[in-house]
Amino acid sequence: MTGPSVIIIGTGASGLAVGTKLYENGFKNILWLEANNRIGGRIYTENFGENVIDYGAQWCHGEKDNCVYKLAQPYNLLESSNFNFTDPQQFPEFFTVTGSNLPHDDTFKVHLALFEIMHTSENEMINFKDSLGHFVDIKFQEKLKSDLIGIDKNISKYVYDWFHKVENSLEASDTWYQTSARGLTEYWECEGDLLLNWKTRGYRTILDLLMKKYPDPTKALPLDDKILLNKEVTNIVWNTDSNQNGVKVKCTDGSEYKADHVIVTVSLGVLKERINSLFKPELPLTKLRAIRGLNIGTVNKLIFEFPHRWWPENHTGFSFVWNGDEVKETLKEFDGSLDDNTWLGDVFGFYPINHQPNVLLGWVVSSGARKMEEIPEDEVKTKLIQLLRKFLGKKFNIPEPVAFTRSKWYTNPYFRGSYTFRSMATEKLNTSAADLAQPLKNSTGKEVVLFAGEATHSHYYSTVHGAIETGWREADRLLKLYMAGLNEITSKI
């Protein structure tokens, strides 16, 4: 059978997952429309340095019940990154803007106290009506009066600020006062190593696994002519009198496509930006509330290659800490106005990358991550090197880099953010990923527009394994629908 006609908008993990599963189950009339000039979505691997880098998804997070791990493990594609910040031997060094080290044992102890708050308080978080930030504030004050007695208050404050930024990198929130404490408990962490790297291949390997290009390229699914790149969708016409039995998709280049079903796998950022124009007619209220209430933020990477490794072998990285007054005073010394440089205060450290001996990966979060994208790359590189020398120059001789690159997930109109989280707005609007995942039915009751992507997963949101699971979920929905119809016809014969 060729099955019904299906258009999939987007070729990220969820888009490829839904399409390949449908294809392998007999649905041959499939077409992908991809706005970018490449497949992969927020999986974006490029050659860099002595190996590859991932601008987006980088690690396989966990093993048990993780479909990415299950796909990769038989081929020995993954390995531990040996980063475990609950192990004092693997805990990074902390530096102030004056170039001094904070005491390792004290910084580790404060970090461990904060880590314990995040990982042992789920029962309390479920019933907490306010933000994650307010929850941590309360619990941390208790820790200061118990576990952290004797720790210098400035050290506690420094590590607390750094931990806040790290948590923003995990959630993609601007601040943890924006993140819902109760909503965070909806996230499920897969058991096992949470930082499994792809050795010398990069995360793009998962795309090859989904399309059966690995391990034997001769057995790849014949999909090349079914994937159209540079096809930006402007309208999805899903419920009009003249189109009751299908969906019409219009693109910016003037092309139009019709199908029995459309599966939308674009990022929540795109849905938010185009909420009033992408769908015709307007979406139902429940769907609008989900798009508005769920949140997506920006986390970006800052990647340097140096002519040689100037940090110790097996070093776990450098964490930057400073308070508000130090940020202002320090950034006045940089070229440009203070407003031009405030984004540097959202850079919380630089860390090694596996299989890249001369590369350091920096992280920038919150509003600074978005601001950084607007600045010319050479200026970003120059100011970051100045920042590195401010923090580390007393201890290390930092050479000029031989290469620099960065991610830009917010200003890219096909993403408008990195990944999703549950915010206080989610709570206020009483919405959920399940609401976003619900298909659109036309006036005849037919499910014509389906939704997949990490934002639609109730528990594995913000992850690749979550995205893939949602793709398989929507494939199963269509397979079940048509198998039920086929069984009904067969029973009448």
- pLDDT > 90: percent of the chain: 90
Q: How confident is the model at residue 143 (pLDDT cuts 50, 70, 90)?
A: very high
**What is the homologous superfamily of the domain 6-43+200-295+421-492 according to CATH?**
FAD/NAD(P)-binding domain (3.50.50.60)
Strand-strand pairing, 403-406 and 419-421: unpaired
Is 80 exceeded by the pLDDT of residue 243?
no
The Cα 375–Cα 174 span in angstroms is: 19
Least confident segment among 99-103, 239-243, 377-381: 239-243
How high is the pLDDT of residue 350? 98
List the Cα angle 459/415/54 in 5-degree steps: 80
- The residue-averaged pLDDT of 424-453 equals 96
Is 50 exceeded by the pLDDT of residue 488?
no
State the CB neighbour count (10 A cutoff) for residue 326. Answer: 15
List the Cα angle 205/206/211 in 5-degree steps: 100
Phi, psi for 291 (deg, rounded to 5): -65, -40
**DSSP designation for 218:** G
Is 50 exceeded by the pLDDT of residue 489?
no
The CATH 3.90.660.10 domain(s) of the chain lie at: 82-192+300-408
The CATH 3.50.50.60 domain(s) of the chain lie at: 6-43+200-295+421-492
Is 50 exceeded by the pLDDT of residue 391?
yes
**pLDDT one-digit tens code per residue, 295-317:** 999 999 999 999 999 999 999 99
Fold of 82-192+300-408: Polyamine Oxidase; Chain A, domain 2 (3.90.660)
Phi, psi for 456 (deg, rounded to 5): -95, 0
Closest to 309 (Cα-Cα) out of 317, 319, 297 = 317
The Cα 369–Cα 365 span in angstroms is: 5
How high is the pLDDT of residue 245? 75
* Alpha-carbon distances, residue 337 vs 28, 319, 328, 331, 333 (angstroms): 57, 25, 11, 8, 9
Least confident segment among 190-199, 220-229, 335-344: 335-344
- Whether 296 contacts 417, CB under 8 Å: yes
Complete DSSP assignment for 318-353 = EEEE--HHHHHHHHTTSSS-HHHHGGGGGEEEEEEE
Helices (H), 342-432: 366-373, 377-392, 424-428
Q: How confident is the model at residue 485 (pLDDT cuts 50, 70, 90)?
A: low
Helices (H), 211-278: 268-273
Is 50 exceeded by the pLDDT of residue 491?
no
**pLDDT one-digit tens code per residue, 161-211:** 999 999 999 999 999 999 999 999 999 999 999 999 999 999 999 999 999
**pLDDT one-digit tens code per residue, 53-90:** 999 999 999 999 999 999 999 999 999 998 888 889 88
